[in-house]
Amino acid sequence: MPILSARMGQLGTESAFEVLARANALQRAGRNIINLGIGQPDFPTPEHIVEAGRKALADGHHGYTPANGILPLREAVAADLHRRHGVEVSPERVLVVPGGKVTMFFAITMFGEEGAEIIYPNPGFPIYESVIRFSGATPVPLPSHESKGFSFSAEEVLALITPRTRLLILNSPANPTGGVVPRSELDQLVAGLARHPHVTILSDEIYGEMVYDGTHASLTTYPELADRLILLDGWSKTYAMTGWRLGYGVWPEALFPHAERLAINDHSCVNAAAQYAGIAALQGPREPVTRMVAAFAERRGYIIAALNGLPGIRCANPGGAFYAFPNIRDTGLDSRTLQSRLLDEAGIATVSGTSFGAFGEGYLRFSYAASLAALQEAIGRIGAWLERQNLGVRG
Ligand SMILES: Cc1ncc(COP(=O)(O)O)c(C=O)c1O
C-alpha cells in the first residue's frame, strides 16, 4: 500500500467537474442534457487569438520561455491593467502562469501552515478552501449576503482578522454568486486594513470584465495596498480561453521571487504558443469580448426574471460574472438533492451551492454561459418538474 502524506487527505475538489462528468455520461446514454453546470464561456476563442497561437507554433516557438513569461506578454498585461484601471504596474511584477488557479495555489501555499489563518469567501470558488486545508492553515469563512447582492460587509471582514491572519482572499465579481463588491465597501475595507499591516490580500478579479451594472472596482487602484496585494487574473473567462491554460498574478515586489521560484519548481514556464496567443488577446480588437459580454447581459436579464417566476425559487440580481445563484429553500429540498434530481429527472445540470462551501446550502448555481434557447428550455423543464413534484408552494 502506498503511504500518502497526511495533507493529501485534506485536499478537496471542484465538484463542477463531477457534475460535468455525470452530465456527459447521461448524454452518452442518450439523454438530452442542458448543461448549466460548467463555468466557462460557451463562445470559441476569437479567431485572431487562435491564429496568433498557430503562428507561434509555425514560427518555431517550441522551447522553454523565461519562467515568468515572455516580456512582450508581461508588457501587454501591464498596458491592459493601465487601460482598464489606470494603474501603473511594472511588467517585472507580472508572473504568467498556466491558468488563474495557479496564482491561488501559490499564494495560499506561500502563506498557509499550521497555526496560520486564511480568510476566504464562502460560498466561494471551492479551490480556496481546499488549498487552505491542504496547506495546514485554518480556513476562516467570509460570508456573502444575498440581501446585499452577494457582496460582503467591510466591517465583517475586518472583524475576522486576528494576529494569526496571514492572507485575505477576496473575489469580485464572484463565483458562484455573481456578486460584485461596490467601491464604497472596498474603500471602507482598505481604510480598515491600515490597522492590519500583517495581512496580505489576494484579489481574484478573473471576472473583472464581466460587470453589468456599473464598473468593476479593482483593488489594484488602491496604492496603499501595492506592497501587499496579489492580483489574480487571466485569459480564461474574458477571452474564452479556459483550455489554453493562461493566467497571471501581479505580485508585490518582495513576494515576486518566491512566486517565481514556485513556478520554476512547478511548471518551468507556460506553453510558449499560448503566451503569444495571450498577447493577441490583449492587443487585438475588443469587439469579440464586448459581444460576448453583451450576450451574457441579455441572458442574465432573462434567467434572473425566469428563475424568480418559478415556484419555491427566488433569485437576487447579481452584478457580474455569468452565474445566477438562486435561493431554493422554499422548494423544501436541500441543494445537493435538488442538483441531483434536476439532473437525473429533468436533464438540467446545475451545481449545488454546497459545492462552494457550507454557507452555500439553500442555493444552486446556474451558469448562464449557454444559449438563450437552452436557458429557456431549461427553465421550462425545471418549472414543469417543480410543478410535478408539487414542491415550491410558498407558504
Ligand atoms: C473565481 C475563480 N477564480 C479562478 C478561476 C480559475 O481560472 P482558470 O481556469 O484560469 O484556472 C475560476 C474558474 O472557474 C474562478 O471561478
pLDDT in tens, 135-156: 999 999 999 889 988 998 999 9
For residue 182, how many other CB atoms are within 10 A of its CB?
Answer: 15
Ligand 1 atom with the smallest distance to the CA of 14 is 14
Assess whether the C-beta atom of 204 lies below 6 angstroms from ligand 1.
Answer: yes
For residue 44, how many other CB atoms are within 10 A of its CB?
Answer: 11
Residue 349 has pLDDT above 90, yes or no: yes
Rounded Cα distance between 356 and 336, Å, is 11
Assess whether the C-beta atom of 39 lies below 6 angstroms from ligand 1.
Answer: yes
- What is the arithmetic mean of pLDDT over 118-124? 97
For residue 376, how many other CB atoms are within 10 A of its CB?
Answer: 15
Share of the chain above pLDDT 70, in %: 99
Evaluated on CA atoms 11, 16, 20, 23, the torsion sign reads positive
pLDDT at 18: 84
DSSP string, 87-155: ----GGGEEEESSHHHHHHHHHHHH--TT-EEEEEESS-HHHHHHHHHHTPEEEEEE-BGGGTTB--HH
pLDDT at 246: 98
pLDDT at 395: 41
Residue 103 has pLDDT above 80, yes or no: yes
pLDDT at 236: 98
Rounded Cα distance between 201 and 166, Å, is 9
Ligand 1 atom with the smallest distance to the CA of 234 is 10
Percent helix, strand and coil across the chain, each rounded to 5? 45, 15, 40
DSSP H helices, the chain, are: 15-28, 47-58, 71-85, 100-111, 126-135, 154-160, 183-193, 256-266, 272-283, 287-308, 335-341, 372-389
Assess whether the C-beta atom of 245 lies below 6 angstroms from ligand 1.
Answer: no
Residue of 19, 122, 172, 206 to test ligand 1 pocket, by largest number of atoms within 8 Å of CB? 206
Rounded Cα distance between 232 and 35, Å, is 27
pLDDT at 196: 98
**Cell 474574458 identifies what position?**
238
Ligand 1 atom with the smallest distance to the CA of 242 is 9
User: How distant, in Å, are the alpha carbons of 206, 213, 324 from that of 301?
Assistant: 22, 12, 10
User: How distant, in Å, are the alpha carbons of 57, 328, 338, 355, 361 from that of 335?
Assistant: 46, 7, 5, 9, 6
Centre of ligand 1 to C-alpha 101, Å, is: 6
Q: pLDDT digits over 153-164, tens only? A: 999 999 999 999
pLDDT at 393: 52
Rounded Cα distance between 248 and 76, Å, is 12
Cβ contact 372:391 at 8 Å:
no
Q: Per the structure block, which three cell numbers stand in for 370?
A: 449557454
Assess whether the C-beta atom of 236 lies below 6 angstroms from ligand 1.
Answer: yes
Using alpha carbons only, how large is the chain's radius of gyration in Å? Answer: 21
Mean pLDDT of the chain: 95
Assess whether the C-beta atom of 320 lies below 6 angstroms from ligand 1.
Answer: no
Centre of ligand 1 to C-alpha 390, Å, is: 37
Q: Per the structure block, which three cell numbers stand in for 42?
A: 460557451
Centre of ligand 1 to C-alpha 1, Å, is: 34
Residue 282 has pLDDT above 80, yes or no: yes
Ligand 1 atom with the smallest distance to the CA of 16 is 14
Q: Whose CA is nearest to atom 16 of ligand 1?
A: 175
For residue 22, how many other CB atoms are within 10 A of its CB?
Answer: 18
Share of the chain above pLDDT 90, in %: 92
Centre of ligand 1 to C-alpha 24, Å, is: 21
Give the predicted TM-score (pTM) of the model. 0.96
Rounded Cα distance between 381 and 164, Å, is 49
Residue of 175, 238, 270, 271 to test ligand 1 pocket, by largest number of atoms within 8 Å of CB? 175
Ligand 1 atom with the smallest distance to the CA of 101 is 11
Longest dimension (CA), the chain: 66
Rounded Cα distance between 170 and 181, Å, is 9
* Identity of the amino acid at 341: R
User: How distant, in Å, are the alpha carbons of 50, 189, 320, 344 from that of 323?
Assistant: 26, 25, 8, 22
Assess whether the C-beta atom of 101 lies below 6 angstroms from ligand 1.
Answer: yes
Q: pLDDT digits over 316-332, tens only? A: 998 999 999 999 999 99
Assess whether the C-beta atom of 98 lies below 6 angstroms from ligand 1.
Answer: no
Rounded Cα distance between 33 and 321, Å, is 23
Residue 358 has pLDDT above 90, yes or no: yes
